[in-house]
Structure formats: C-alpha cells, structure tokens
Amino acid sequence: MKTKSMKKKIFTLLLAACMVFAFGLSACSDGDAGAGGGGGGAGVTGDFSQPARDLSKGPIKIAFVPLGASGPTMPTAMRGYYDALGGEDNGIFTIDVFDSQFDTTKQIQIMQDLITQKYDAIILEANDPNAVNDVIHDAEVAGIPVITRNMAATGPKIAHGLNSDYRAGYEAAKYIQANAGKADDANVVILDVVPELKPTTRMGTGFEDYLKENTSWNLLETQPVTDTSQENGNTIMSTLLAKYDDIDIVYTVNDDVAVGALQAIESAGRENEGIVIWGYEGHPLALQAIKEGRIYGTSFCDVYKQSYSTMILIQYLMQTGITAANLGMEYTPLIEYSTVPTVQGNIDEVLSAAGVKLE
Amino acid sequence: MAEQKIVLRTEGICKSFNGVQVLKDVDLEVLSGEVHALMGENGAGKSTIIKIITGVYVKESGQIYIEEQPVEIWSRQDARGNGISVIYQELSLVPELSVTENIFLGQEIMGRFLPDRKEMRKRVQALIDRYEFKINPDAIVATMGMATRQMVEILKALSIDAKIIIMDEPTSALSTAETEKLFSTIDTLRAKGVSILYISHRLEEIYRLADRLTVMRDGINVGVLDHDEITPERVTTLMIGREVRKNEKTHLREPNKDHVLSVKHLKYRDLLSDINMDAYGGEILGIGGLVGSGRTELIKCIYGALKQSGGEITLDGKPVNKVIAKNIVGGMGLVPEDRRTEGFFPVLNIAENLTVASYDLLAKTGIISAKNEKQFAADAIRDYDIRPTTSTVPVGNLSGGNQQKVVLGRWLSRKPKVLLLDEPTAGVDVGVKAELYRLMEDLAEQGAIIIMVSSDLEELVNVSDRILIVHKGRFFKEYLYENASQNEILLASSGVDTGKGRLL
Amino acid sequence: MNAEKGKFLKAAGSIWGQRVTILVAVIVVMAIVQPRFFSSGNMLSILLAIAFYGVIASGMLFVVLIGGIDLAVGSEAALGGTIFTMYVLAHDMSAGTFFTAFLLAILVAILVGLLHGFFDAYLGMPSFVVTLATQYALYGLTQYITKMNYLPVLNASGLFYQLGNGKLFGIPSPVIWFVILAVIAAFVLKKTPYGRRIYAVGGNPHAAELVGVSSKFHKMTAYIICAVTASIAGMLLVSMNMVSSYKMAAGYEGPVLMALVIGAVNLMGGEGSMGGVFFGALLVGIINNMLILIGIDTDYKEFVQGCIIILAVAINVYTSRKSQGLVDQKRRRMPWLNRPKRGAPDG
Amino acid sequence: MVLKPKTIRKLITIGLVIAMALLFGMSTESFFTVRNITMIFRDASYVGIIALGVSFVVIGGGIDLSANGIVCFVGMACARLGVLAGFPAPVIVIVGLLAGALCGYLNGLAVTRLHLSEFITTLASGYIFAGFAVFLVFRENGNVASAAVTNKAFLALGGHIPHTYIYISSVVWVLLAIVVYIIQTKTKFGLHTVALGSNPKSTMMSGVDIDFLKLIGFVLAGLFCGIAGIFQVAYQSASTLTLGDSMGFQAVAVCAVGGVVLGGGKGDAMGAFLGALFMVILLNGLYKISPSPSIQFIFQGLIILVAIFFDTWFNRMMEKKLFSDAVRKRKNQTPLGAVKAEG
C-alpha cells in the first residue's frame, strides 16, 4: 500500500542519483592530465630557470616536515640543522617545523602551503612513497629544492638522504648474524609498525628480507605495536614470552619498543637467557641499556651528522639553484647515511663521534 | 437553531482495566455546529471515553457512530480517517517547521517530486480566512506563543476536514488574554458549523462556551444539561451524586497547637498573591482548588523546591530552610504530583528507592550499613504492603499503585514531622487508596503535620480534618470536617460563596 | 506475582551468568588451542596491559552514570603524566618532590574536571562535543609545554621508579593501582550515599532534586573523579616507561568506552556497575591477548574489537528488552498493526 | 519579513566566517591568494561532504561516528580498482558510491532492526569498515605496501578542473550542499527528518515510518562518506590505511559548530557547509600565524567550545521566549457569581 511504493520510489531515486553523479563526475574529468592535474609521473622535463640565490642576505625560510614532530631525536636533529647554518640566531636562516602526524593528506596540504608561502627549501620525511610525488614535483617546478629523508619517495627530486629504514633493518640482521654468535636456527621475533605505516617504515621488511635470504633463522612471528609505544611493546613482548619458550633474537622497529621488550623480559625473569634485542635510532634510554649490556644493540642514526650534512647540501642547492627538474634528472641521487650498528663494545666512541652525551 | 444532525454518537460503550469496570454503557451525543462540554471528577471515566473515541484504547463493547454511520476505530489513524481529531495539553507540533509544514506533516500534497508548497499554502490560507485566524502560514512554530500554537493545532484538525474537534483542558497553560483569544476562536468555529467536544474542570468556561454539557460520574453518563440549565448547583449535584460519608471518622484528633507550620503572606510570581495559613500537628489539612490555581507551587515553596517571591514560612517558630536537603533532615517530606518524572527512580530497585532519602539515618558513619538498609526496606515493604516483596526488583516495572506506595513509603518510614502530599492517590485503584489513607491517618496520629493537595473531592471531604480552598492566588474558604461537602468545595473552588464555612 | 519475581531474578542472574559463560568459553578454547594462556606470566601481562585504561574506566564510570561522557581522558592522562615528569626532572628524585609532583598533577586534573563539570551542569552544553573540544585543546597544551619533545628520565629512582615499576608480591604496581581504584569505586558506588546519589542523578534528575540531591554537585564531582583517574593513569604510564611524551595515551578513550560497553554500562546514564566495568576491561585485555596467542592475523585486531562491541551491545539490548517483555515492541509501538483480522472475535 | 530563527543563526555563522577570513587576511599576506582560497575549499570539501551526509542522521536525532571506517574502505576499494588500469573511471566511482551506501545501510539496519544505541554501534562499525579496508590492502610478500593508482581519468578527479585552480571536489561539495539543502528543506523526506529529530512522538503519530527514515539517513551518510573517500584517494593518487583518520569525530564536531546540534531537529545543510568552511579557514589561518601544531590544536578546541556555548545559549533563548508565555498561568476568571446564583 502507500508506504511500500514510497520506499521503492526513494530507492530508485537514490540509485538514479548515483548513476548520474558517477557519469557526470568522470565526464568532466576526462580531459587531459591537465596542467595542474595529478598524474605527474616520472621523467617530466622542462625549463625551470631559477636565479641563483645569494645566501648572505635576506630572510631565508627552510621548512622541516617530519613524520611526527616529536621524539627523542628531534633536539639533536634541530641542533644539527642550526649548527650547519651558524647557530640559532644567525639572523639569516629560520627553520620552521611542520608536524604531519603520520597523515598523508595533512602532509600534502602542508607541502602545498609551503609552496604558496614561497619557502626556500624543504626537508621532507614522506609519509607515503607515491602520494607525495606530485607535490614534490610542484615544489621543484616552483624552484624549491626538496630533500627527502628516511622514507623514500618514488618520484625524482633533488636528493634523498637515505639512512633509510630498509637498510637499517638489513644491516642489523647482517651484524647480528656475524657477531651475536647465535645458533643458525635461532628463533626470531619482530616487533614492527602497524599495517598502515608498513609501506613507509620498512626496517622490519629489511630485517625480514636479509633473514630470508642469508640466514636459516626461524622467524616465529611479526607483531605490530600500535603507536610503537613502550608500554605496548612491553605487553606484546610478554605475551610472546608466554607463547614461546626460547626466543633468541628480538628485532624492534624503534628504541621505545626495544626498552619495552627489555622490561617484559626482565619482569618475566628471563634476562639471563641472553636474548638479543636490537632497536633503531638510538634513544637515550636504549643507549643507556646498551651501555649496561641489557640491550644487545641498536642501529644508531647519527642524526646530528645527517641533519648537519643535509643543511650544507641545501645551502649549496639554494646557492646554485639546481633542482632535479631543471637538471632533467630521471632518478634521485641517493645520499646514504648509514646507520651505525652500536653495541656495548663501540657505544662510547660512536656517541662521542656523534657528540651525544648521556646525561 | 437550524435542525442539527448528530455528528458523533456513542452507544453502550463499556471498558474495564484489569477487572475494574471503568465505563458502563456510556452514551454520548454531539450535534453539528455545537460546543458540547464534558465534565466529571478524576476517575469518572471522562478521559477513558475520549481515548476510546480517538483510538488510543480499544472498547470492549458498544458502537460509535459518525454522522449516523457505524464506524470501527482501532487506532489513531482510524479516528483521524473518520474525521475525529484531538488537541492534547502537550501539543503535537514540531517547533522547527512552519505552520503549513506542521499542518500537512505525514500527509503532504505531492507535486511531481517535491511536496506542492503552493497548493498546501493556498489551502492553509483558505482555512485561515474562513475561520478568521490571524496566522501567517509560513511562520515558524518555534516563534509562536502557546495560544497561537493551539490555533495551529486547531487548523491542523480542520485541515483534515475534521467533523469533530476534541479539546482536552486547552486553557490550563494559557494566560487570561490567551484564553479569551481561544474562546473567540471557538465561537467563530461554532458559527461555521464545526462541532467541538470540550473537556474542562472550570465551570465558568463551560457556562461561557457550552451549548450542552454531559456530566459523568463513576463511569456513567449521569445527565445532559442544556445551556440555560447549567447552574453551579445542578452541575455539582450531578457530579457528586448523593453525599455519602464512606468512612466516618472514628474519632477527631485534637490538633496540638504548639507543633505548627505557619505561612505568612506567601507570594509566588503572579500565581499566589497572599497565602496565609497555619497547619497544626496531628491534623490532615486538605487544600482544594482548581487545576492550575497554584496549589502545587504552594507546597513546593514550603518544601524549598521553588523560590517564593515573598512572605515567610516558619515551622515551630523557626524559619524553614530554603535547601531541600536540610528540610528533609529537619523532618519534611514531599510526595510529588507526577510520579513518573518526579517520584521514583525506574532503574533503581525497591530498596534503593525507599532508602534514597534516608541516608542520614542509614549511613551515620558515612557508609550505608547493609543490615539497616535491608531492615528499613523489609519494614517498609511489610508496612505498606508493596508487591512484589523482593526488594531487588526495579521500581520501573511495578504497577502504578505499588510505585506510589514506594514513593510514600520513602517518607513514612522516616517518621517525618511534616508530610506534604500532592494528588497522593491519582491513578491508583480504590483498594490501594484506602490503604494510603490509613497510613496517612496513622502518621497524623503520631502528631505529624500533614498537608494534602487533592482534586479528588471525595478524598478531600472524607480524609482531611480541615480544608482550605485556593482561589485567585489566596485562600478563599475554610471548611472543617463536619461542614465540608463535595458540593461546597466544588463551588468554592470556582469562587462561589454559599455562606457555609468561614470566609477568609 | 511469583512469575514476575522469577523473571527478574533470572534476568539479573543472567547478566553475571552470561559473563561466567563467556569466561568459561575462553578458558575451554585456550586450554585446547594454547594452554600457555594460563601461565602466570601471561596473566600478569594481560592485567598490566589493561591496568592503565582500567584505572580510567573506573573514573569514567562516574561520568557515564550521571548521563555525561568524557572523550578527553587520553589528553588528560598525557597532561597529568607530563606535568608530573617535568616537576620531577626540574627538581630531584626525593620523596618530597615526588609527592608535590603527584599532587600538582592531581590539582591540574581537578581543574580540568571542574571545567567539564561547569560546562555540563551549569551551562547545559552537550558533554560529547565539549570533551571532544577539550581533547584537542589539552593535546595542544601538552604539546606546547613540552615543546614537542620527549622527556626521558634517565636516572629514575626512589618513589618515581617504584610507582610504575615497583612490584608487590610479584604483581606490578599499575595493576595494584587498578585493583585498588576499582575496589574503591565499587565501594563508593555501592556502599556510600554519594554513590547511590550518582545513580539517582543519572536515573531521574528531577526526582533526585526533590529528594535533596543536588544534581549540579554530583555532575561536577563525577567529572573531577574521571579527570583525576586519567591523570593517575598518565603518571603510572610515565613512571613505567620512564619517558613522557605528549602523544602518550592518545586515543585511550576507545578501549575505555569498550570496557564500559562490554561491562553492560548504559551510555545514557543511571545503569552500570563497577563489577561490569572490571569484567569489560578484563575481556578487552583477554581478547587482545588471545589474538596474539592464537596467532590470528593481527592486521584485523581493530576489526575483531569492533565485532565484539557490536556483539556485546546486541546481547545487552536483547536481554534487557527481553526481561521487560519489550521484544515484541513493534506491536506496542504501532497499535494499528494489532488490528484483528476481519471477522475475528474481538480481544 | 519575520526572520526564521534558523536564518538568524546562519547569518551569524556567515558573519563569523567572513570576520575570521578578514582577520587572517590582514595578519598574513599569503591568505587571500587564489591558490590558497582554492586550497581552503579543497581541504574543506573532504570533511564538508562527510558533514553533509552526517547532518541527515544528526538532524534526525541520531549520530554517526563510522565516517573514518567508510572513507578508508571506499578509498581502498577504489584504489584496488584504480590500480587495475582496465577499469573505466565511472565504474570505479559507482563501486565506491555503492560501497559507501552499503556501509550506511548496514549501520541503518543495526540501529533500526536490532535497536542498538547509535553512538556505540557506529563507533564500532567504524572499526569494522576499516577492517574491510585492511582486507583489500596491497601486499608485497605478505607485508602491507602502497601502490600508486595508475588510472589517469580517475586520478583527474582529485585534481583541478582543467585550466583553472579550482578543485573538482570543492565544486562538487558546493553543488551537493545545495542539493542536500533542497532535500532537507523542500522534500517530504527532509521535513520528516526534521520532525523526527524535533518531536519523535508526534511524527510517529502522524503515520510517518520512522525506521525507514532513519535507514535512509544512514544510507545517505554512508554514500557521502563514499564520495569523500573517492575524492581523497584520487587526490592522493594512492590509498593508505590512514585515509579518513578521525573523520568520524571531526564530522560531528563540524556539524555542531555549524548549528546541526546533537539531539536533532536543529540546523541544516548550510550549517554543516559553513561549519566545515569555518574550521578549515581557522586551521589554514592559524597555520600561517604559527606553524607549530600545538597552537592549532588549542585554538581548534577553544573555537569548538565557543561555537557550542553560543549554540546552547541561542537555543535556550528561543525556548525561554516560548515558556515565558505559558508560565503566566491563568488567573481565575470572573466569579461565577455573575451567573444566576439561585438554586
């Protein structure tokens, strides 16, 4: 009776609206890739003449867009940048930090904003290798050199500082195999990032690849740790300890999780089983534990040196006005900042070399 | 008057609720173009017959005729379909929508895809012009006062070319000016041949508006009066029937003068202008008056629930506190009028509802002692015969009578010095009523002051030792138990001084 | 009358009956699939995992009971923990500093609670959107005072260290705090007038006023209790991790709400017990633990949690409606449906 | 011409938006550039389109927090199809829309058939739909990986309208706002939704099928989340699982700022549109004044508080005006004495 027909009418109306909407949308977008449109893709060349900058005068604004604007390594990174620019109050250069909070859309919005505000250089930690290509391309077209760090981005850009995650994982596995003296069929557990961040934070993948290719270790499990936080690392590690009797190697995606895993092992009373824990990046708590021999080692990123050298490179690029676009580069020049495998043995000299002191 | 055909007629309508016969063979007749009034005490079956005609309840036997055609009414939809529409006290309008949208809600006139606004607006304007309402069809209801909203409700009824409009206590929320506006609207409707069934307590309204009046008592239609037959005496005798004193007072308690709650020149907004009274220990003081004459506001001011605008209240000489919690500790208690919203806590169980006001007794050390609480609840359940007897049952699932017993028991178990009751036995079956009266008498026996606001004339007359009638913001008349009669009280409530009783 | 009485006992009994059956089911499954579930280490790890948002849940219960909600518990915990750490770092590891830092964090929490209480009780603003706004504001505030840095505490010792890492008879201190706060909350709600009045305000605010219960006072105190428990959770977290960051405890309102809902707490107010909340928190911890032990692909952890919430809510709604005989509510809500068939005898 | 309360409320919000834009415009010169304005409209279009959909549910007296799950799921579904270049763009869009509508339908069923409380059910279904997205994600030997969407026509959706700076998504957002406004104020469905939100009992008594209304409300909310998901994926040219993060709560906050308040019956599509614009201008402007995220978060929180306070106060004023008439209870009438007093 009445309501039944009304229901059918509303549903057909809805469906029709969808069809019209869909076709309408795609019709108006069938045009060519469009100058401003997406789909930049690799290998676009064009004349991007850009005047060389005289770095001695005028305010020069440099933007640093990390994945997450906090973390134990932030202060050292900023110190590295400012030292390369001649101290915080050098009067010419200013550095602004934009926190993208691990959100790709936000990162792209920030980048576009920097272009409109005509920043002079951008240091970017990409949140998604493919999503940022177009916006890097726009920046380069606008004559702003973009250096990406840690997470790779597939499109071409002036330089990519690669103390990358993948390599750190790969090297860590190699170092452990060579020096930790673990049996060939050692049991391995990886505490990795949550699925969403897997494409960009690839230490776990690097460690796993090395493990599969050159060792006969037995990978028990890979567990994601939400927010890579210390307490979640602690909980998940203690569950794994309950699940497996003998765990030989624990590879963690960062030092917070490593310290968490250590706490789990100690509260389970299994600290004397010689479980090798390997972290990443070199946070103060982990470095202290390494000194005391409770954590086997970590891939120490000499953040200070990396940021110092990155800033020197940027000054050079700004001065010469070179960008990947105007050089017509097809690929991205890679600058490898190798992470330094740091263990109890070499920790003192590594820290003194990096100018980091454990107060 | 021109020969009027019968618009609505009911014949032999019967209805009973769990065994209690509420309507016995009720015949009702409304002519076209007539304003037919319906009066009767609470519980006389007045609202039940209306609910049956409008499809809220389903009748057990009897037949309803619309314009002499037998009709079957099972639901609100059927009632509306047959041209019967109702205007309740809480209006059914949607404040956010315009007048036209409200009137056609659920039955919009459709154009091709969208509702045909022009057509609907035209029809509403036609109605407005026809009945000389002064309303803008596009105005939003939220911007309107109560009276104008009622006119929109009437328009809504007229829009489905209702043959009869039933109005249930429409003036209870209106100011004097707004009531006058409603009366002139009703006059124009009558002139245009619309028949109205008007339900009200107020004699003067009936006299002013009604062509004919049907009076109901105890589920029976006891008489139909023509306009000129409507006199206060005829109406009250019909409503009350022969005076019978059900429970003769066994003995009259001597009120003890030194335990007194006295109220001097109490003023509350523009409702209560100058209230003066003294209530003595060991006496049940009944307060009569019409619905909306401010009796609830009076006892809430005493209790501290409302802030009075003037005057002062003292108990045994000491001024009464303004904070409810302190009054409770001081021995006061209030059984509110609306059980569901102000009385009990539906989710909490019987024990918790009973003890919620008595933590000063049960938790002297700051911790509720389970033993005392269980004992307190068990005593209450036994003394006040609350069923079911397990104290873990949520009160929300109890019957009306038991819920009222819980709310009353909450205070009685505290042995209060002053107990204020507001319509204590509304909606409670006769058996439970007698129990509640006995409990009140026992409490009075122990010397407590009891002030009972009630619209149930029989209850007022039989239970109270002394009765005060509120009229026009002040106490108008005082009756003692001996010379009180339901007739007198009803007249006094409307301001008629028949000589008996003390004029204040 | 006895039928009616039996029905309610069965319904009340059945809520805990349900919970026991769920626990038995878990025990049976785990005994077969992964007996290691029962090792003391694993049990402790579950308890430690749920300790933090369990502490918050026992405070949030008060707010939900009075018909409000507090989405800003995550930011409150981060703020409390950060202030606690900054004060200790600025001074020393002595017991005196520890207590002043502890009180300072509690004081800040009380301030936040007062704010929430004022917006809800006096201004009548909807607590959902208000606490959503304060969640952003407090998150930004913590970020601002820490200048977006981590605050590692390298030389943690004394009470600061014991708060998060101490052990009593082998039980980690956060778990002890959770159990203590849960017991206090249960006691206050069950045994004290204040607790009973919280239920009253949640159940029927008008009736509460007429029984001498000030709903404004109880709403204010409920929000304060919730903010204080969140701050305590933040301090426990900071002390255990020995590092504090503004991102800490972000998003804790998710598991806390889950614990409340699985614990059969009615989000509209007036209904719910601390026992239920404890069970809810425990079940959330057990589920996360089981996912790992059984080895279900943990990419779907949140998906499984979502399904369990829907299941828990459906069971609660079904049992409560059944006990009130509302299951055939459609009949009552739409009387025109119960029109007898033509010609069928009436009634 | 007497102004409807709703129009007064909207004029004030428009005034606020313009005032804020001027404030930011003066303090930083890069605010009023064409590029920046188009970017504001693009950023606002994502949360704005979702807010339009959610406004149906909120006006009807409910709430829908599952936006983040639906956006993520639809985004991943389109990315999946987008990678296989073979699928023509319209097909991808249709699949996206239907996926969104389906999620909304599931929400609607849970609320109307199972009588579950809307708040916690949509919060949980947000997680569940995000779980569907994880099911569809690209994986390289078991690990979640990101893959670039290669379907050119589909990607163009996320970009500009050819030869202009205006983004397709912002144009669609404005058009949808107008369509939704018409639906909510002119069609029968719209009026019934407002009635349901404002006075459920009388709506039911007027013979309106309430369950069907709620169901359609949720389906539309899901559909609009689908549209937002499509645009975001096309713009990002890759779908990550972080798509649509915290959109569920953002959309409700935006509606609240725009006057579409929880509880129902209040506000309309224009309010939701202005709320979205207001929030994004706030964030965009704050960005320019101080890039540090902490200031932004603090101001974002404060502005929502101010908007909510203003709204609660405004509604109270309207109610107070109504009750003041009714409270003046009727004083008693002329004494009946005037009536013939004899026997």
Chain A residues within an 8 Å CB radius of C148: 69-70, 74, 97, 99
pLDDT averaged over chain B?
Answer: 84
d(CA B379, CA B322): 31
Q: Is C172 on the interface with A (CB under 8 A)?
A: yes
Q: What is the pLDDT of residue C320?
A: 74
Q: What is the pLDDT of residue C279?
A: 92
d(CA C84, CA D94): 53
3-state secondary structure of A153: coil
Chain D residues within an 8 Å CB radius of C123: 309, 312-313
Q: What is the pLDDT of residue C178?
A: 95
Q: What is the pLDDT of residues B43-73, one digit of tens each?
A: 777 888 888 888 888 888 888 888 888 888 8
pLDDT averaged over chain A?
Answer: 77
With an 8 Å Cβ cutoff, are C211 and B357 in contact? yes
For residue B339, being part of any structural domain is answered with: no
Q: What is the pLDDT of residue A156?
A: 64
Q: What is the pLDDT of residues B312-340, one digit of tens each?
A: 889 888 888 888 888 888 889 999 988 88
For residue C182, give the amino acid letter: A
d(CA B381, CA A82): 80
Q: What is the 3-state secondary structure (H, E, C) of D238-285?
A: ECCCCCCCCHHHHHHHHHHHCCCCCCCCCCCHHHHHHHHHHHHHHHHH
Nearest chain A CA: its distance from D327 CA (Å)? 41
With an 8 Å Cβ cutoff, are B328 and C212 in contact? yes
Phi (first) and psi of residue B314, to 5 degrees: -125, 145
Q: What is the pLDDT of residue D343?
A: 28
Q: What is the pLDDT of residues A67-99, one digit of tens each?
A: 766 666 777 778 888 888 887 777 778 888 887
Which DSSP state fits B170?
G
d(CA D53, CA A207): 45
Last residue of a domain, one of B397, B413, B429: B413
Percent of chain B with pLDDT over 90: 2
Q: Residue A37 — pLDDT band, cuts 50, 70, 90?
A: very low
Which A-chain residues 136-195 have CB contacts (< 8 A) with chain D? 154, 195
Q: Is C247 on the interface with A (CB under 8 A)?
A: yes
Candidate ranges B198-207, B231-240, C232-241; pick with highest mean pLDDT: C232-241
The DSSP bridge partners found for residue B285 are B451, B466
B442: CB partners within 8 A, 6+ apart:
none
* Average pLDDT score over residue span B5-29: 84
Structure-block tokens of residue D265: 């019956």
> Is B120 exposed, middle or buried, given 0-12, 13-18 or 19+ CB atoms closer than 10 A?
buried
Chain D residues within an 8 Å CB radius of A108: 235-236
Residue of A21, A25, A38 lying closest to D155 (CB–CB): A38
Strands A340-343 and A297-300, how do they pair? antiparallel
Q: Contact at 8 Å (CB) between D47 and D251?
A: yes
Q: Is C4 on the interface with B (CB under 8 A)?
A: yes
Last residue of a domain, one of B217, B240, B263: B240
Nearest chain B CA: its distance from C312 CA (Å)? 20
**ipTM of the shown complex:** 0.83
Q: What is the CATH code of the structural domain delimited by A166-300+341-354? A: 3.40.50.2300
C308: how many CB neighbours lie within 10 A of its CB? 18
Question: How many domains does the structure of chain B reveal?
Answer: 3
CATH of C14-324, one of 3.30.300, 1.10.10, 1.10.3470, 1.20.58: 1.10.3470
User: Range(s) for CATH 3.40.50.2300 in chain A?
Assistant: 4-163+303-328, 166-300+341-354
- Same domain assignment for residues B201 and B252: no
Nearest chain C CA: its distance from A228 CA (Å)? 11
Neighbours of chain B (3+ CB pairs under 8 A): C, D
For residue D106, give the amino acid letter: L
Q: What is the pLDDT of residue A151?
A: 64
With an 8 Å Cβ cutoff, are C1 and B388 in contact? yes
- Same domain assignment for residues B150 and B263: no
d(CA B504, CA A152): 95
User: Position of tokens 């760090």?
Assistant: A149
A57: CB partners within 8 A, 6+ apart:
A92
Q: What is the pLDDT of residue C7?
A: 59
With an 8 Å Cβ cutoff, are A130 and D146 in contact? yes
For residue B391, being part of any structural domain is answered with: yes
Q: Residue A188 — pLDDT band, cuts 50, 70, 90?
A: very high
For residue B17, being part of any structural domain is answered with: yes
With an 8 Å Cβ cutoff, are B145 and D322 in contact? yes
Structure-block tokens of residue A335: 């600058």
Q: Is B385 on the interface with C (CB under 8 A)?
A: no
Q: Is D77 on the interface with A (CB under 8 A)?
A: no
Q: Is the pLDDT confidence value at C80 over 90?
A: yes
Chain D residues within an 8 Å CB radius of B495: 332, 335-337
Which tops the pLDDT comparison, B438 or A152? B438
Sign, Cα dihedral of A102, A103, A104, A108: negative
d(CA D60, CA D262): 9
With an 8 Å Cβ cutoff, are D325 and B114 in contact? no
With an 8 Å Cβ cutoff, are D234 and A101 in contact? no
Q: Contact at 8 Å (CB) between C144 and C192?
A: no
With an 8 Å Cβ cutoff, are A29 and D156 in contact? yes
Which DSSP state fits D330?
P
d(CA A342, CA A339): 9
Q: Is the pLDDT confidence value at D42 over 80?
A: yes
* Average pLDDT score over residue span B259-276: 86
pTM for this prediction: 0.85
Number of A–C residue contacts, CB under 8 Å: 96
d(CA A187, CA A248): 5
Q: What is the pLDDT of residues B161-203, one digit of tens each?
A: 788 888 888 887 777 778 888 888 888 888 888 888 998 877 7
Range of the domain at B325: 247-331+416-504
Q: What is the pLDDT of residues B476-495, one digit of tens each?
A: 888 888 777 887 888 888 77
HSE-CB of D246 using CA atoms within 13 angstroms: 15
Range D182-190 contact pairs with CB under 8 angstroms and sequence separation of 24 or more: D183/D269, D184/D55, D184/D56, D184/D59, D184/D268, D184/D269, D185/D268, D186/B114, D186/B115, D186/B117, D187/B113, D187/B114, D187/B115, D188/B108, D188/B110, D188/B114, D188/B115, D189/A10, D189/D213, D189/D216
Q: Is the pLDDT confidence value at D106 over 90?
A: yes
For residue B182, being part of any structural domain is answered with: yes
Q: Is the pLDDT confidence value at C313 over 70?
A: yes
Query: Helices in B162-271 by DSSP H: which ranges?
Result: 176-191, 203-209, 232-240
Asked: is D5-324 a CATH 3.10.350 domain? The reply is: no
Q: Is B176 left (phi over 0), alpha (psi -120 to 50) or beta?
A: alpha
Q: What is the pLDDT of residue C4?
A: 56
With an 8 Å Cβ cutoff, are C150 and A224 in contact? no
Q: Contact at 8 Å (CB) between D254 and D275?
A: yes
Of A249, A148, A165, A255, nearest in space to A201 by CA: A165
Q: Is B62 on the interface with C (CB under 8 A)?
A: no
Of B313, B317, B287, nearest in space to B301 by CA: B313
Name which of C7, C211, C323 to mutate to probe chain B: the one with the most chain B Cβ atoms within 10 A of its Cβ. Answer: C211
Q: Is B422 on the interface with C (CB under 8 A)?
A: no
Distances (CA, A) of C79 to B221, C6, C75, C222, C231: 73, 50, 6, 19, 7
Q: Is D304 on the interface with C (CB under 8 A)?
A: yes
Nearest chain C CA: its distance from B481 CA (Å)? 31
* Average pLDDT score over residue span A34-62: 52
**A4-163+303-328 fold:** Rossmann fold (3.40.50)
Last residue of a domain, one of B367, B393, B413: B413
